[in-house]
Structure 1
Amino acid sequence: MTAVSGHGPWPGRERDELEAQQMVLGDLAELPTGVDPLPFLTQLADRGPGADAVGRTAALLAGLPVELGPHGWKLADHEGMDQRRADAFLREDLGALAIAAHGHTGPLTLEVVGPWTLAATLWSARGDRVLADAGARREIAESLAEGVRAHVAAVREQVPGLGDVVVQLAEPQLGAVHAGVLPTFSGYARLRAVPGPDLVEGLRPVVDAVHDAGATAVLHLGATWSGIAPAVLAGADAVGLDLGALGSANTPGWDERAWELVARAAEKDVRLWAGLPPAQVSQCAGPMLGELVRTVAEPWRRIGLPASGLDAVTLLASPRRTLTGTDAHRAELANLGRIAEALAERAAGA
């Protein structure tokens, strides 16, 4: 069944965690009939360092302490105040989830930064990006795998009877890692490109850990469609792609090479999580949702996939932008529900 979910980021500061989580669970429960709600653990990044995506994920690393440095998060010699703050934010979020999701027996999605984006973003304790050291990036992947197992277990402990847990591994930097375009610490050179087989080997321990924890693994690649093949080979159950970043004004969402990879993934029962931009709003007609329905459905048909397969697509907002205020986020979830309903109708009519 066509579904709607989210990445996790939500507006709000300290003491807003419970309200945010209740809104997400409540709003998704009101989606149209025939659309599956996939509520998500909210992340209130406005609280500051440690509530951001990288800091939150880095704090999950087993046996690898982190701290804030001049360029962002970096590996540290021992646990300090920065990591303790990140741990505290996550405990607050899980506490809010335990209250808001009391009695919830459906699915829940969690998002963490994937191993390659984490290695590209984290800095070594006394050097360059972790990505520059093959041994260090392997250690990051193994440590993250242990952290993800513990994270899924902690979520299940907070919500007894929880259904399927879906872990979204955010890998927006995968394409830059593969292309070798990330600058070194000095900025005067670029880090070496990482070949495809190495990308797969780096992803696999974390994907395996998600499966070991009894959860579903989604590798969200942003606009990096070249990462679809490594994601499939690493064992992902679904791939996420920001469709709004593909195509042109005349053919929104269409990129032949990208959709060929989506089709090949679908043949292997790897589902699509489609990231959509916000709807354009007409003063007369309101949100122009038909354009976003076509952004998914027309490339799907054009590449030769059966319309019935739209029933397995999950919709969510493209993450790399900022919406102002809670009302905008809630309106977007409602719009995604209406788009999903239209896709479900096309699937049923096939």
Structure 2
Amino acid sequence: MTAVSGHGPWPGDERDELEAQLTVLGDLAELPTGVAAVPFLTQLVGRGPGADAVGRTAALLADLPVELGPHGWKLADHPGLDLRRADTFLREDLGALAIAAHGYDGTLAVEVVGPWTLAATLWSARGDRVLADAGARRELAESLGEGIRVHVAALREQVPGISGVVVQLAEPRLGAVHAGVLPTFSGYTRLRAVPGPDLVDGLRPVLDAVHDAGADAVVHLGDTWAGIAPAVLAGADAVGLDLGTLGSPGAPGWDERAWELVARATEKGVSLWAGLPPAQVSQCAGPMLGELVRTVAEPWRRIGLPASGLDTVTLLASPRRTLASTDAHRAELANLGRIAEALAERAAA
């Protein structure tokens, strides 16, 4: 069944977490008939450091404390105030989820930063990016995997009736890691490109941990298709791709090489989480959703995939962002529901 979900960023501060979680669960429960809902743990990034994506993920790492440095989050010798703040935000979010989702028995999604993007973003305690050290990034992946096991268990404890958990691994920097374009600490050189087999090896322990915890794994690649094959080979259940960045005005969403990889993944049972940009709004007709329906459906048909397979697609907003207001987020979820309904009708035709 075609579904709708989200990444998690939401406007507001610590006073708004319960309201945000209630809004997501309530709005997704009102999607059109024939569209599945995958509610997600909201992230109020406006609370500051520790509520951001990297800080939230850092709070999950097992035996690898972090702190804020001049260039952002970095590994630390021992836990400190920055890590305690991030951990507090995460506990508060789980507490709000427990209240908002009381009695909920469907699937829940939660997003964390994936191992390659995390290694490209975190700095070592006294040196360059963690990505520069093969041993350090291997340790980071293992730590993240263990942290995710604990996190999934905590989700099930807070909402004991849920039927499943989807862990979304955000990997927007995986393409840059593979291309070798990330600057070193000095900025004068670039870090060495990571070959495809190593990308697979770096993803696998985290995906294995997700599966060991009884959850499904989505690897979100953002606007690059370079990571589709490594994600599939590492064992992802789904890959996420921002379709709005592909193609041209005359062929929205169409990139032949990208869709060939999507088709191969689909044939292996790996589903697509399709990121869609905001709908253009006409003063006369309102949101122009037909173009976004075509952004998914036309490349799907053009590459030769069966229309019935559209019922395996999950839609969410892209790029990963926090809109200015709660009303804007709610409108976007409603639009995604209408787009999903149109795709579901095509799948059933």
1:69-123 Cα deviation digits (max 9, x unpaired): 0000000000000000000000000000000000111000000000000000000
1:127-166 Cα deviation digits (max 9, x unpaired): 0000000000000000000000000000100011111100
2:3/2:340 contact within 8 Å kept: yes
Q: 2:183 maps to what in 1? A: 183
Q: What secondary structure is seen at the aligned counterpart in 2 of 1:112?
A: strand
Report the residue type matching 2:319 in the other structure: P
Q: 2:315 maps to what in 1? A: 315
Report the residue type matching 1:42 in the other structure: T
Report the residue type matching 2:327 in the other structure: D
Q: 1:338 maps to what in 2? A: 338
Q: 1:57 maps to what in 2? A: 57
How far, CA to CA, are the matches of 2:331 and 2:53 in structure 1?
A: 23
1:2-58 Cα deviation digits (max 9, x unpaired): 000000111111111100000000000000000001000000000000000001101
Q: 1:69 maps to what in 2? A: 69
Give the deviation of 1:319 after TM superposition. Answer: 3.1
How far, CA to CA, are the matches of 1:14 and 1:54 in structure 2?
A: 18
How far, CA to CA, are the matches of 1:321 and 1:147 in structure 2?
A: 24
Q: 1:202 maps to what in 2? A: 202
Give the deviation of 1:322 after TM superposition. Answer: 4.2
Report the residue type matching 1:229 in the other structure: A
Q: 2:302 maps to what in 1? A: 302
TM-score by length of 1: 0.99
How far, CA to CA, are the matches of 1:142 and 1:221 in structure 2?
A: 20
Q: 1:270 maps to what in 2? A: 270
Aligned length: 349
Q: 1:31 maps to what in 2? A: 31
2:11/2:322 contact within 8 Å kept: no
Q: What secondary structure is seen at the aligned counterpart in 2 of 1:32?
A: coil
Q: 1:213 maps to what in 2? A: 213
How far, CA to CA, are the matches of 1:226 and 1:87 in structure 2?
A: 33
Q: 1:45 maps to what in 2? A: 45
Give the unaligned 5+ runs of structure 2: none
Q: Is 1:105 aligned to residue 141 of structure 2?
A: no
1:257-306 Cα deviation digits (max 9, x unpaired): 00000000001000000000000000000000000000000000000000
How far, CA to CA, are the matches of 1:91 and 1:164 in structure 2?
A: 20
Q: 1:257 maps to what in 2? A: 257
Report the residue type matching 1:251 in the other structure: A
2:307/2:347 contact within 8 Å kept: yes
How far, CA to CA, are the matches of 2:320 and 2:170 in structure 1?
A: 11
Give the deviation of 1:229 after TM superposition. Answer: 0.0
Give the deviation of 1:204 after TM superposition. Answer: 0.2
How far, CA to CA, are the matches of 1:244 and 1:345 in structure 2?
A: 22
How far, CA to CA, are the matches of 1:97 and 1:347 in structure 2?
A: 33
Report the residue type matching 2:57 in the other structure: T
How far, CA to CA, are the matches of 1:226 and 1:146 in structure 2?
A: 27
How far, CA to CA, are the matches of 1:309 and 1:89 in structure 2?
A: 39
Identity %, equivalent residues: 87
How far, CA to CA, are the matches of 1:334 and 1:229 in structure 2?
A: 32
Q: 2:14 maps to what in 1? A: 14
How far, CA to CA, are the matches of 2:57 and 2:292 in structure 1?
A: 31
Structure 1: 4+ residue segments shifted above 6 A: none
